[in-house]
Amino acid sequence: MRRLGIHEKDGVATLDKDSLLASVGGWLGIVQSSLPATIFVIIFALTKNTWAAAISSVTVALGFVVFQLFSKKPVTQAIAGALGIGLSAFLTLRDGGHPADYFVQGFFTNIAYGAALAISMLVRWPLIGFLVGLLRSEPLEWRRNKKILRRADLATGLFVALFGARLAIQLPLYFANQIEALGIARVAMGVPLYALCIWLSWLLLRSSIAHVK
């Protein structure tokens, strides 16, 4: 449950500012997720050179991988981030590509996550409920509890709303070719809103997962 900021202390599941920070990868994870896109937007805004912006972004992402290797820390997140940035750079620099394509990969990610969560709500098996079930050692039984089911629906809906809001705000900026505004929206609607959804989900569900069995 580390990814959702939940940890166990004396048999009690809880979430605090430290575990919430850990859920987004710590301060390093926040920088890793936001700096490459920020660098891309800054370089492009200053130079209007797509190649310089894309290569700078990829270089920063690879720099995080090297840093993690030398510091002997887990590199999975850094490698995944670098691959994502590499794909974004490819879409931007390919024949027929344009600067706004740097953000296309993020759109598909939001569509995939949002659709999966929304479908789980429609079939009355909200995905967040499975996480609650794991913590309660009740993989499937949680669904029989109407209170937990209702709150799991609401928590899952928070993330559906997050992914939907990202698309609703960022897609018009993409089609308008507003690169700088799109970059700002991408960063602002990234880690901060994700952390907010985790916190609100915890407020909804903490009474249901207070004690880890």
Residue ranges covered by each domain of the chain: 2-205
Supply the pTM of this predicted model. Answer: 0.84
H and E: helices and strands count for the chain: 9, 2
Task: Determine the pLDDT at residue 54.
Answer: 95
Task: Determine the pLDDT at residue 72.
Answer: 77
What is the C-alpha separation between 55 and 34, in angstroms, rounded? 16
pLDDT tens readout for residues 32-45: 888 999 999 999 99
Task: Determine the pLDDT at residue 165.
Answer: 97
- Degrees to nearest 5, angle at CA 104 with 98 and 106: 145
Sign of the dihedral through C-alpha 72, 77, 83, 89: negative
Task: Determine the pLDDT at residue 153.
Answer: 94
- Give, rounded to a whole angstrom, the gap between the first and last alpha carbons of the chain: 14
What is the C-alpha separation between 138 and 131, in angstroms, rounded? 10
Task: Determine the pLDDT at residue 131.
Answer: 81
**Parts of the chain with a pLDDT under 70:** 1-25, 210-213
Task: Determine the pLDDT at residue 204.
Answer: 86
pLDDT tens readout for residues 143-154: 888 888 999 999
Task: Determine the pLDDT at residue 6.
Answer: 59
Task: Determine the pLDDT at residue 70.
Answer: 87
Task: Determine the pLDDT at residue 15.
Answer: 59
